[in-house]
Structure 1
Amino acid sequence: MPHNITVLKSKLHNATVTHALKDYEGSVALSQDLIDLGKFRLHEQVHLWNITQGTRLITYVMKHEGEEGGIICVNGAAAHLANPGDRIILATFAEIDSGESWEPHLVIMNDDNLEA
């Protein structure tokens, strides 16, 4: 009998935090190129796994206003768990029917937050 399961939708692996703003509304703000590359949606729930520190958190995606290209700005309370220079994984999930075939969108990043 079919039922829904939660699967990995998309992942940016080994990205680098570029900014952390503690005195800001919570979320992770990404430049448009990274939103597009990760196939993320604005306000979509995103898991942030910090490779450098071993911390994990759940927040949502916002568009970074200002600088363009490769920007990952961790905001609010989450900024206590991620510092500029930290290597991270950003992952989103989706619900699908258990009988449905599925392949996640996976992107390995280089040191400049470009696809490796």
Structure 2
Amino acid sequence: MQLNLVKSKIHRAEVTDTSLNYEGSLAIDSEFMALANMRAYERILVGNMANGERFETYAIPAPAGSKVISLNGGTAHLGKRGDLVTIMSFAVVDEKEAEGWKPTVLVLGDANRKVIKVSGK
């Protein structure tokens, strides 16, 4: 049996920008992506804590150190600057690998300027 488990999560990321005239995706500071063990173009699920919206898209790296979290394309309608979002990616693992599984979790604070915690690595 194979299971879909949370692989990576960035919690309490503050939306810094929206870009409706972009084809899609969520831009994430590449430093955050590395800390959270996320890859460029990886499928992600995003939950907006401000309005309850949930949507699936893919991650693209923003410049390292930029603190950018940008809703692009149609997802720009699902949030606004200042909204807090949770960004999750998933992995398909077999039952044996699932035993003791721990996702990498990055918690942000202070308008993305502070990494509060990284766990699970």
TM-score by length of 2: 0.87
Inter-partner Cα distance in structure 2 for 1:31 and 1:88 = 14
Structure 1 unmatched ranges of 5 or more: none
Inter-partner Cα distance in structure 2 for 1:18 and 1:37 = 19
Corresponding position of 1:56: 54
Alignment partner of 1:47 is 2:45: yes
Q: CA deviation at 1:112?
A: 2.7
**SS of residue matched to 1:95:** strand
Contact 1:15 1:88 in 2 (8 A): yes
Inter-partner Cα distance in structure 1 for 2:79 and 2:21 = 14
Paired amino acid for 1:27: S
Contact 1:42 1:61 in 2 (8 A): yes
Corresponding position of 2:102: 103
Inter-partner Cα distance in structure 2 for 1:82 and 1:69 = 20
Contact 1:31 1:72 in 2 (8 A): yes
Alignment partner of 1:76 is 2:73: yes
Paired amino acid for 2:36: G
Instruction: Let me know the Cα RMSD of the aligned residues.
Output: 1.3
Inter-partner Cα distance in structure 1 for 2:17 and 2:27 = 9
Q: CA deviation at 1:20?
A: 0.5
**SS of residue matched to 1:99:** helix
The structure in which a higher percent of residues are strand is 2
Corresponding position of 2:6: 8
Q: Deviations over 1:75-115 (max 9, x none)?
A: 00000001110000000000001122211111211123131
Runs of 4+ in 1 over 6 A off after TM superposition: none
TM-score by length of 1: 0.91
Inter-partner Cα distance in structure 1 for 2:96 and 2:30 = 33
Inter-partner Cα distance in structure 1 for 2:55 and 2:110 = 22
Structure 2 unmatched ranges of 5 or more: 117-121
Inter-partner Cα distance in structure 2 for 1:112 and 1:37 = 17
Q: CA deviation at 1:59?
A: 0.2
Q: Deviations over 1:48-74 (max 9, x none)?
A: 100001100000011225x84211011
Paired amino acid for 2:102: E
Corresponding position of 1:88: 85
